Amino acid sequence: MNEKNSSYWYKRWTLIPLIFVLVLIGVFAKRLVDIDNNKPASYIPTVLLNTLIPEINLDPLPNRGKGLNSEHLRKKLILLNFWGSWCGACLIEHELLMEIKRKNIIPIHGIAWRDKPNESINWLKKYGDPYSLVGQDPESKAAIAFGVTGAPETFMINENGIIIYKHTGPITEKVWLNDFLPLIREYK
């Protein structure tokens, strides 16, 4: 083999790693697209959406009615709101919830989540009570059953006890007008 010839092949040799890597990256890319199509775990929507509510049975807050169980949630279209006196963001939506109650748009049931019952009741006395029924959930039993991730979180449940909408975070005016109100109108 003469000098020129060998250097010709030598130059081509150095391309091999590049080709190998490009093929490999192609395989990875295809694989990623495949995973994407299979809806991987990171795209979990609300598991409970369009399913029946879980069974719960919660004690009442001190001196405040009956408590809350799944039966109460299956009577008509209602909102179920997880909140706590410790939760600052809950105050953001509080004014709006009070207005919903005043205008009698839709009944709201509340679950006092991870809270001391006395503090929950004091909070309601101080800021106003937008709820029809309230259950206490100090040990997160209901919160876990509903898959609650943070307070406030609000579920819309129809007369068959099916969760038709869920919102995590405070219900702002915008959320209310864009997401909740159209659904409620559609239902009525």
Partner 1 sequence: MIPEIGFFTLSLSLGVALIQSVMPLIGLKKNNLTLMSLADNAAIMQVLLLSISFATLIHSFISSDFSVINVYQNSHTTKPLIYKITGVWGNHEGSLLLWVLILAIFGGAVVLFGNNLSKRIKAAALSVQGMIGLGFIAFIIFTSNPFERLNPVPLDGKGLNPLLQDPGLAIHPPMLYLGYVGFSMAFSFAIAALIEGKVDSLWARWVRPWTLAAWTFLTVGIGLGSWWAYYELGWGGWWYWDPVENASFIPWLTGTALIHSLVVLEKRDSLKSWTILLAIVTFSLSLLGTFLVRSGVLTSVHAFASDPSRGIFILILLLITVGGSLTLYAIKAPKLDQSGVFSPISRESSLLINNIFLATSASTVLIGTLYPLVAESIGIGKISVGPPYFNMVFIPIFIPLIILMGIGPYLPWRKAKIINIYLNLKVVVLLTIISFVLFFSFSNYKLNDLAGCAGITLSAWVIFSISNDFINKIKLFKNPIQDCLNRARNLRRSAYGMMFAHIGVGLLIIGISGSSAWKQELIVSLKPGEEIRIAGNRIIFKEINFLNASNYQSLMGEFYLVEKQVLMKPERRIYNQPEQLTTEAAIHSNLWSDIYLVIGDGPNNEGAYTVRAFFEPFIPFLWYGVLIMGTGGILSLTDRSVKVTPKRSRNNKAVPKAGSI
Chain residues in the site for partner 1 (CB under 8 A) = 7, 10-11, 14-15, 17-18, 21-22, 24-25, 27-32, 34-36, 40-42, 84, 86-90, 114, 149-153, 168-170
To the nearest whole angstrom, how small is the minimum distance from the Cβ of residue 30 to partner 1? 5
CB nearer to partner 1: pick between 1 and 15: 15
To the nearest whole angstrom, how small is the minimum distance from the Cβ of residue 27 to partner 1? 5
To the nearest whole angstrom, how small is the minimum distance from the Cβ of residue 188 to partner 1? 29
- Scanning 103-180, the segments in alpha helix (DSSP H) are 117-127, 141-146, 173-175
Question: How far, in Å, CA of 170 to CA of 167, rounded?
Answer: 8
Bin 19: left if φ > 0, else alpha if -120 < ψ < 50, else beta: alpha
CB nearer to partner 1: pick between 42 and 104: 42
CB nearer to partner 1: pick between 25 and 52: 25
To the nearest whole angstrom, how small is the minimum distance from the Cβ of residue 17 to partner 1? 5
CA distances from 112 to 9, 39, 43 (A): 76, 34, 29
CB nearer to partner 1: pick between 4 and 185: 4
Q: What count of other Cβ atoms lies within 10 Å of the Cβ of residue 132?
A: 16
Most distant CA atoms of the chain, gap in Å:
101
User: Quick one: 43 exposed, middle or buried, by C-beta within 10 A (0-12, 13-18, 19+)?
Assistant: exposed
CB nearer to partner 1: pick between 32 and 49: 32
To the nearest whole angstrom, how small is the minimum distance from the Cβ of residue 40 to partner 1? 6
By the 8 A CB rule, do 53 and 157 touch? yes
